[in-house]
Copies of this chain bind each other. A is one copy, B any other.
Amino acid sequence: MAVTIHDVARRARVSPSTVSRALGSPELVNGATRERVLAAVRELGYEPSRAARSLITGRTGNIGIMVPDLGNPFFTGVLKGVQARARQAGLAVFVADSDEDPVAELALLRAMSRQVDGVLLCSPSIPDGQIVELATGTRLVLLNRRVRGIPAALMDSAGGMRQVVDHLVALGHRRCAYLNGPRGSWSNRERRRGLRAAARGRLDLVELGPFVPRYEGGLQAADLAVAAGASAIMAYNDVMAMGVLTRLRDRGVAVPAEVSVTGFDDLMFAAGCAPPLTTVAMPLDAAGRLAVDMMLGAISGTAPAAGQRELPTSLIVRASTSPPVLRESTNVDLPAVTG
């Protein structure tokens, strides 16, 4: 078996409580004794049992994070920030992937709840009511989702969408398509909300979808957007935008000359695709860290439990957007030729 506090105590010729104190509240023990204890700890390679400790303190030193898909760089970006901040705070991180299955999600959450001090929840799709219910049994901090009364680390998606619209309007676009993400998604609702507000009276907005928020969804959506006569296509996220770019290229539609395309998220490859994608950068890492900080506050009881903090987003302009020159001239010429 592993070395216990008794082994250390025996070796340092003190009682177990002194060892415990030397480790947890060093100021309470005599300097010389402390040295002896610490030496014994080092020699034996002693590491306290978290299980035993948590049994008595009621705290585990662990937090959990639940995400819908570990294959999605959006969530792993957040996870990376969570992990980094948790490490600094001496917390270990449980990760659970619900695979977008709400039933599995609830089960995982239940199983997790007993061995964490709180859980960070990335769940775009489960209903508000269930989240509220969950929050009664488990300390919860929401990520990228706003529910009344539950603390949350948010990213200003609506603001990001507004920046996209401002950009396209400034370029001269008048008729634009939005490719909706999943129907129940909070992110999609937010993005669409910001979009509609910004577009009102300035932009002829065609809403398409919902589509699956993947490459395939983009392939499918591209044709619909072209058929709708949009001079710019705003995709729900970068992955869909990639699909759009591919499909347009295959059909011989020039980007951005004939159609402009925007994404959302600024994933790593957004800079590297062809053409480089104009998109909205989300502060994933910062949001992850913020969520942990809020959790830390909630655990220690110092912070107001229900704060919601929102991080700014920013438009990254690259080469996939331009004024709608060629298409405008096509529109103008064609009637002339035909008529």
Contact surface of A with B, Cβ cutoff 8 Å: 1-2, 45, 47-52, 54-55, 58, 60, 62, 69-71, 73, 76-77, 79-80, 83-84, 87, 92-97, 99, 104, 108, 110-115, 137, 215, 239, 242-243, 245-246, 249, 268-269, 271-274
Contact A76–B71 (Cβ < 8 Å): yes
Residues of chain B within 8 A of A110, CB atoms compared? 47
Contact B2–A114 (Cβ < 8 Å): yes
Contact A243–B272 (Cβ < 8 Å): yes
Residues of chain B within 8 A of A49, CB atoms compared? 55, 114-115
Within the assembled complex, what's the spacing in Å between the Cα atoms of A48 and B108? 14
Q: Which of B55, B97, B242 contacts A52 (CB 8 A)?
A: B55
7 A–B contacts from the bound complex (CB under 8 Å): A49-B115, A50-B51, A51-B115, A83-B96, A94-B95, A272-B273, A274-B274
Contact A71–B60 (Cβ < 8 Å): no
Q: Which of A55, A112, A115 has the most CB of B within 10 A?
A: A115
Contact A87–B96 (Cβ < 8 Å): yes
Within the assembled complex, what's the spacing in Å between the Cα atoms of A246 and B11? 63
Within the assembled complex, what's the spacing in Å between the Cα atoms of A215 and B115? 39
What is the CB-to-nearest-CB distance from A194 to chain B, in angstroms, rounded to a whole number? 26
Residues of chain B within 8 A of A52, CB atoms compared? 51, 55
Residues of chain B within 8 A of A239, CB atoms compared? 268
Residues of chain B within 8 A of A50, CB atoms compared? 51, 114-115
Residues of chain B within 8 A of A112, CB atoms compared? 92
Contact A1–B94 (Cβ < 8 Å): no
Within the assembled complex, what's the spacing in Å between the Cα atoms of A243 and B48? 47
Within the assembled complex, what's the spacing in Å between the Cα atoms of A80 and B71? 7
A285 nearest CB neighbor, chain B only: B71
Within the assembled complex, what's the spacing in Å between the Cα atoms of A99 and B80? 9
A47 nearest CB neighbor, chain B only: B114
Residues of chain B within 8 A of A76, CB atoms compared? 70-71, 73, 76
What is the CB-to-nearest-CB distance from A123 to chain B, in angstroms, rounded to a whole number? 16
Within the assembled complex, what's the spacing in Å between the Cα atoms of A103 and B312? 34
Known contacts A76-B76, A108-B87, A242 near B215 by CB under 8 Å: no
Contact A94–B92 (Cβ < 8 Å): yes
A249 nearest CB neighbor, chain B only: B274
A71 nearest CB neighbor, chain B only: B80
Within the assembled complex, what's the spacing in Å between the Cα atoms of A104 and B83? 13
6 A-B pairs with least C-beta separation: A274-B274, A70-B80, A51-B51, A242-B272, A269-B269, A95-B95
Residues of chain B within 8 A of A242, CB atoms compared? 269, 272
Q: Which of B1, B45, B79, B114 contacts A70 (CB 8 A)?
A: B79
Residues of chain B within 8 A of A114, CB atoms compared? 2, 47-51
Contact A93–B94 (Cβ < 8 Å): yes
A53 nearest CB neighbor, chain B only: B51
Known contacts A52-B55, A271-B215, A47 near B111 by CB under 8 Å: yes
What is the CB-to-nearest-CB distance from A211 to chain B, in angstroms, rounded to a whole number? 15
